[in-house]
Amino acid sequence: MIQPEVSSPAQERRLAAIAAASATAFRHSAYHQVRAEDVAELVRLPRKGTRGKARSAVWLYNEVRSRRVLVALALKHAFEEFAADDPEPSPPETVTDAETLVAAALHRIAAFSQAERFLVGQVRLGIGDISTSEKRPASQQSSPAWPDGPYGQAAESGWEGRVTAYAQHLAARIETAVSAVAVPPEGWARRSAERLSELAFRALADDADAAMERQAEALAAYWFERDVVPLAGQWASRLRTAERAAALAVHDHAGPRIKAAALEQVLRILIDGTPLTARAIRVAAELAQLLESTAGRGDSVGDLRLLCDVESRHGLLLLRLGDPAEALSRLERSREVAVKLPDVEEAESYIARAEHNIADALIAMGRPVEGAALLQKVEAARASDVPAEGVSPRWRRLTLTRQAAVRAAIRSGRVVRGVLLAEEVLRDRVKRLGPGNVNTASARVALAEALLAAGDPIHARRHLLEAMSCRAQHLPASGYWRQYDNVRLAETDLTAGFPALAVNTLAESVVSTPWFRQWVSRRLSEEAAIVHAQALTACGSAEAALGLLDRLSPGDRAASRARAEALLSLGRADEAAAVLESVAEIERKLGDDFPAQAHTLLLAARTADARGRAADSESLAAALEAMAGAELDPQHPSVLAGRLATAARRVQAGLVGEVPDLLGPLLSRTPLDHARPALAEGHPLLTEARALAARLGTPVPAATADQLWEDI
C-alpha cells in the first residue's frame, strides 16, 4: 500500500510519466497483450542522477496497484494531448447558451473518442478489470493514497472503476456555463464534471457509431436536468424552453407580434422566478424596441398596453440593478404610452402605476421628499372603490403604494410616521392574506426597516427574521429579495452593536459575490459592501474596510461616508475631512435627502473633533440640531447621536451643567406617537447615554418595570 505521506507533487509527476507510457502502450497493442513490463519500459523519469532509465514492473505496480489505473491514466494523457490547444470558454448570455457550451465540450470529447477509437476500446475493456489479488476472499486491500492533482484524481477514479479523464476539461466549461444561472457551492463543478465524464465515456465507448452531435446534445440535456435544475430551481428548465421558442421565432422569420409574444414569455419567466436581473433588462430592451416599431404602425391598443407594461418592468429592473437615472427615463416613457390608451379608466390605472414606480426611482436617487409627494397623489387616486375585505387588484395596488410610502417616510427622516404606516400595512395584509403569505412577509420587512430607522434594532431583527423564514420558502436563495434580507439583517446587527455578526452574515452571502453584482443587482451588492466595510471598521479592521470600498464605483455618497469612518478610525482625520467635504458638496445640490445629510454632519463633527477644531465641530453640531423638527423628526436617531456627541464634548470641556438637557431626549422612556420611546432598550446610543449620565450622577429614567398580573 502507498502510504499517505508519499502523496506529493513528486507522486503526481510519476503518475504523469506513467500516463504517457500507458497511452503509448495501449495505442498500439490490445489490452490483454500489454504487460506491466511493457509499460514500465516506456516510462521515462529521471532517478538519482540517471536520465530516463526504464523502471521495473514491480516499481510500476507499487505506483498504480491496478491495471484499471493504468488505462484510466492512459486515457487522461491522450485526451490532454488532444485538447491542449482548446481555447478558454466564453461566458454564456442565456441558459440555452450555457447548455450549448457544455454540449460543445462533449462534442469535442466525442471527436476524441472517434480519433482514439482503438485506445478508448482498450480503456473500456480495462476499466472493469479486477486483479487476481483483489478476488481472493482474504484480500483486504485498502484504497491507495493519491495526490490531489489531475493525474492523481484520474488514478483514484480508475482504482474505483470510474473514468474521469474528461473531468478537468469539463469542469472549466461547466463552471463557466453555470454562471448564467447561479453561484454553485464549492466543489460542485468538479463533482458534476466527474459524473458527466463517466457518463460520456460509457455512452461514447459503448455506441461508437452514433452521430456525435446528437450524443453530445443528449448528454448536455441530461446534465442540465440532473445538475443545473436542482441547483438553480425549476425555473431554469422553463426558461430554457421559452428561450428555444423565441429562437425558433427568429429562425423561422416569424412576424413581429409572434416574436413579441415569445420574448414576452421569456421576460415573464425571468421576472417572476429567476434572479437574473441583468438578463431580464436585455430582454425587456429588445422587446420594447420591437413593440415601439409595432405600435408605431397603427397604435394598436394591445401593442400600446404591452409596451406600457414592458417599459414599466424595464424601469423597475434597471432600478433594481442600480441605474436609477435610466430607470426614471423608462418609467416616464411608460407614463407617456399610458396617456395614449383610449380607455380613460385604464389609462389612469396605468399612469398611476408609472407614477408609483417613478416615485420609487426618485427615492433611490436621493429625492425622497419629492417621491413621497408623488406617492400621496398616487394613493389618493388608488384609494377609491377599494373593497373593505378580500384580495382585489385595486387593493393590491393600493397596499403596494402604501408600502412604498413607508420607504419614502424613512428616507425623508420621518421615522415615526414610517413605523405607523408600516404597522398599518402589515395589519391590513395579515387580515386579508394571513400571516404566512409571502406578501405579508414583505410588509414585515418594511416594518423592520422602519423600526431600525426609528431606533429599535432589537424588534426590527425579530420581524426581519420572521419575514426571512417565510420568504425562504417562496423565493430563490440567490435572488434579489433573499439577499436584500441578508443585507438588512447585517445592517440591523451593526446598528444594534454587533458588527461581528454583520461581517459573518455578509462574508457568507451570495450578495458579496461578483456573480451577484453582474447578474442580479449592482446596487444591492454595493450596499452590502458598504455595510460590510462599516462593520469591519467597527471591528477594528479599518484597513480591510478601505480595501473593500476601493472596489466600488466612485461617487457613491454612502461609500464615501463609510470611507471617512474608516479613515477616521485609522487616525487619518485630514483625509476623512476631505472626503466628507466632497460628500457635503453633492448633498447641498440634492436638497431633500435629510437622513444622509445628517449622517454626513455627524461624521464631519467627529472629524473636526479629531483634528482639534472645536469651532468647526460646534458649528456642524448646531447645523445637525437645526435639522430637528423642520427636516427630521425631533427625536431622529441621527439628531440624538449628535446630542450625545455634544454632551461628550461638554464633559471634556468641563461644562457638565448643559449635559442633562442634552441627554434628556436620549434617556426619556416616554412613548412617542408610534407608542415607543425614541431609543428602544438595547440601542447602543441609549447604553452610551446612560453610562455618561451615571458618570456625572445625572438621574437616569428607569425602564418600565412590567409585572406578570397572574403573579400579583
User: Is the pLDDT assigned to residue 95 strictly greater than 70?
Assistant: yes
User: Is the pLDDT assigned to residue 700 strictly greater than 70?
Assistant: yes
The C-alpha atoms of residue 356 and residue 137 are separated, in whole angstroms, by 77
pLDDT tens digits, 344-362: 999 999 999 999 999 999 9
Higher-confidence position of 681 and 299: 681
The CB density around residue 257, as the number of other CB atoms within 10 Å, is: 15
User: Is the pLDDT assigned to residue 3 strictly greater than 60?
Assistant: no
Taking Cα atoms as reference points, which of 331, 255, 337, 261 lies closest to residue 296?
A: 337
Q: What is the mean pLDDT of residues 198-202?
A: 96
Q: Which grid coordinates are listed for 160?
A: 474505483
pTM of the model: 0.89
For the chain, the straight-line distance linking the first and the last C-alpha, in angstroms and rounded, comes to 76
Cα angle: 292, vertex 293, 296; to 5 degrees: 80
* Contact in structure between 545 and 533 (CB atoms under 8 Å): yes
The C-alpha atoms of residue 193 and residue 199 are separated, in whole angstroms, by 10
- Domain limits, CATH 1.25.40.10, in the chain: 369-474
User: Is the pLDDT assigned to residue 5 strictly greater than 90?
Assistant: no
Q: Residue 530 corresponds to which amino acid? A: I
User: Is the pLDDT assigned to residue 290 strictly greater than 50?
Assistant: yes
The CB density around residue 552, as the number of other CB atoms within 10 Å, is: 20
Counting other chains too, the contacts that 576-582 makes at CB distance below 8 Å and 24 or more residues apart are 576/603, 576/607, 576/610, 577/604, 577/607, 577/608, 577/611, 580/604, 580/607
* Contact in structure between 263 and 246 (CB atoms under 8 Å): yes
The C-alpha atoms of residue 666 and residue 684 are separated, in whole angstroms, by 11
The C-alpha atoms of residue 601 and residue 592 are separated, in whole angstroms, by 14
* Contact in structure between 520 and 493 (CB atoms under 8 Å): no
**Sign, CA torsion 33/35/41/43:** positive
The C-alpha atoms of residue 521 and residue 507 are separated, in whole angstroms, by 17
Residues in a beta bridge with 632: 628
Predicted confidence at residue 141, as pLDDT, reads 63
User: Is the pLDDT assigned to residue 167 strictly greater than 70?
Assistant: yes
Q: Residue 454 corresponds to which amino acid? A: A
The C-alpha atoms of residue 693 and residue 668 are separated, in whole angstroms, by 12
Q: What b/e readout covers 415-450, taking b as 16+ CB neighbours within 10 angstroms?
A: bbbbbbbbbbbbebbeebbeeebebbbbbbbbbbbb
pLDDT tens digits, 585-594: 988 887 688 9
**Lowest-confidence region among 2-16, 19-33, 496-510:** 2-16
The CB density around residue 53, as the number of other CB atoms within 10 Å, is: 12
Q: Residue 371 corresponds to which amino acid? A: G
Taking Cα atoms as reference points, which of 208, 173, 43, 153 lies closest to residue 101?
A: 173
Q: Which grid coordinates are listed for 561?
A: 461616508
Q: What pLDDT band is residue 51 in, cutting at 50, 70 and 90?
A: low
The C-alpha atoms of residue 706 and residue 558 are separated, in whole angstroms, by 40
The C-alpha atoms of residue 235 and residue 274 are separated, in whole angstroms, by 7
Q: What pLDDT band is residue 646 in, cutting at 50, 70 and 90?
A: very high
Q: Which grid coordinates are listed for 325?
A: 437615472
Q: What is the mean pLDDT of residues 324-352?
A: 95
The C-alpha atoms of residue 311 and residue 332 are separated, in whole angstroms, by 9
- CATH for the stretch 369-474: 1.25.40.10
Give percent of the chain with pLDDT exceeding 90.
81
* Longest alpha-carbon distance in the chain: 102
* Contact in structure between 158 and 19 (CB atoms under 8 Å): no
Q: What pLDDT band is residue 105 in, cutting at 50, 70 and 90?
A: very high
pLDDT tens digits, 121-140: 999 999 988 765 666 555 55
The C-alpha atoms of residue 7 and residue 576 are separated, in whole angstroms, by 53
- Domain limits, CATH 1.10.357.10, in the chain: 4-131+145-232
**Lowest-confidence region among 52-66, 273-287, 303-317, 373-387:** 52-66
Predicted confidence at residue 2, as pLDDT, reads 39
pLDDT tens digits, 676-697: 999 999 999 999 999 999 998 8
Q: What is the mean pLDDT of residues 77-85?
A: 95
Q: Which grid coordinates are listed for 115?
A: 480519433
Q: What b/e readout covers 637-659, taking b as 16+ CB neighbours within 10 angstroms?
A: bbbbbbbbbbbbbbbeeeeeeeb
- HEC states along 111-148? HHHHHCHHHHHHHHHHCCCCCHHHHCCCCCCCCCCCCC
233-365: CATH, from 3.30.420, 1.10.287, 1.25.40, 2.40.10: 1.25.40
User: Is the pLDDT assigned to residue 546 strictly greater than 60?
Assistant: yes
User: Is the pLDDT assigned to residue 291 strictly greater than 80?
Assistant: yes
Predicted confidence at residue 351, as pLDDT, reads 97
Number of separate helices (H) and strands (E) present in the chain: 35, 0
Taking Cα atoms as reference points, which of 310, 272, 278, 277 lies closest to residue 291?
A: 310
- HEC states along 604-653? HHHHHHHCCCHHHHHHHHHHHHHHECCCECCCCHHHHHHHHHHHHHHHHH
Q: What is the mean pLDDT of residues 326-349?
A: 95
> 409: burial class by Cβ within 10 Å (0-12, 13-18, 19+)?
buried
| DSSP 3-state of 288 | helix
Instruction: Count how many residues are written for the chain.
Output: 712
Higher-confidence position of 202 and 301: 202
As a whole number, the mean pLDDT across the chain is 92
**Lowest-confidence region among 103-112, 294-303, 309-318:** 294-303
* Contact in structure between 443 and 429 (CB atoms under 8 Å): yes
User: Is the pLDDT assigned to residue 284 strictly greater than 50?
Assistant: yes
Predicted confidence at residue 709, as pLDDT, reads 81
The C-alpha atoms of residue 303 and residue 293 are separated, in whole angstroms, by 10
pLDDT tens digits, 421-473: 999 999 999 999 999 999 999 999 999 999 999 999 999 999 999 999 999 99
Higher-confidence position of 254 and 223: 223
**Lowest-confidence region among 28-32, 448-452, 699-703:** 699-703
Domain 4-131+145-232 fold is Tetracycline Repressor; domain 2 (1.10.357)
User: Is the pLDDT assigned to residue 193 strictly greater than 80?
Assistant: yes
Predicted confidence at residue 122, as pLDDT, reads 94
User: Is the pLDDT assigned to residue 665 strictly greater than 70?
Assistant: yes
